[in-house]
Amino acid sequence: MEYMNTYQVSTIRKDFPFLSCSPNVIYFDNAATTHKPHQVIETVSQFYACHNAPIARGIYRAAEQATARYEEARTTIARYIVAHAHEVIFTSGATEGINMVAACWAQHMLKPGDELLVTQLEHNANFVVWQQLAKKIGARLVVANITAQGELDMQDLYHKLSHKTRLVAITQTSNVLGTKVDVGSVIAHAHAIGARVLVDATQAIPHQRINVHELGADFLVFSGHKMLGPTGSGVLYVAQRMYEQMHPCRYGGGMVQQVTQDTAEWAPVPHKFEAGSPLTAQALGLAQAVRYLEQLDFQALAAHEAHLTNQLIDQLTKYNRVHILGPIDQLRTHGHMVSFVIDGIHAHDIAAFLDAQHPSIAVSAGKQCANIVYNALGIQAAVRVSFYVYSTSEEIMLMSQYIEQIIRSS
């Protein structure tokens, strides 16, 4: 296929130590966490070995150099999402970012009777936070439905937007179904009635470029470990226009300029929201992951992932007992994951069977921290197979043979 001319998987795989250290593992759980290229691993290691010093707390050379590296990482990530550097807040991941929006903005701006609009596609991190906040402040949690095919019911969402809606919290790509949402349209409709929008881009940003200013989101979050970066790394993007409405939600060193016995003066953004010792090595590792991704042809990557998705769908649809979840037509053109169930076989048993093979195949089985999706579909658990930059067609074919074995033996 044409994409193979610009996307050489064999070359890319050489960058990932896990693939050589664990040659008997085929890894298909990339929606949960991705492996790290040696460039990222070396960046983190070299910081601790050669550059470790406190950030923004020392006037000696090593501390100033470490601070410069940290701020350079912020600039790199801001460039990647087309934001201003001061709009990028480093977090431990998307979950912390969502919780920060709830604590720093929503609980100060919402009042009893206001509405929070979420969807049935959400990861628990972007559902439970708003469920609990609504209970705490007396607001109403409104949930937009998905269709039987696993797509977001846009008409239902637009119908549920009202003059009471203060925030729409929505995923850009479902972590279970792979469903992509037209968040640009949602943002435009929400802004038209004065509502703000938080976008969970965790499953989208590893696979596509995002321009936050063009998108128009008020808040956007993502996790580094799902895009080749270290665990414990992530970003909360806050549009500059929102900063006047945000209050510090964590207090400590680094986020103050002056402190007296009775008062405190906050540091300027984004440091105002980065209390305590920063996750410096993680931020530097995430910036290196971004530099790695910037070298990729994202159109070729999308074609590669769609090829793998189509290949797996074609194999699975041979069997009447296999049911693929989500919008298959959309997955065939824009997919990077496939979730499915097999009649009569629990998802955990399928995953255990695949893991027991040689080479073992690592897939996700269960609810993938997205209970609301499963409740909506009336399903207890599913197997999720998710691809990334180093996944291959040969791996798909081998897994397909194992799937055939488990179906024929049950």
Which residues are the active-site residues? 369
Report the SS3 class of residue 265. Answer: strand
The gap between the terminal CA atoms of the chain, to the nearest Å, is 36
Residue pair 49/62 in contact by the 8 Å Cβ criterion: no
How many of the other CB atoms lie within 10 Å of CB of 148?
9
How many Cβ atoms are within 10 Å of 153's Cβ, its own excluded? 16
Query: E-strand spans in 4-100?
Result: 25-27, 88-91
Q: How many CA atoms lie within 13 A of 310 on its CB side?
A: 11
Q: Are strands 256-259 and 264-266 parallel, antiparallel or unpaired?
A: antiparallel
In 3D, which of 336, 263, 285 has the Cα closest to residue 306?
336
SS3 266: strand
- Rounded CA-CA distance 29/130 in Å is 27
Tell me the C-alpha distance between 247 and 266, whole Å.
10
Instruction: Name beta bridge partners: 223.
Output: 234
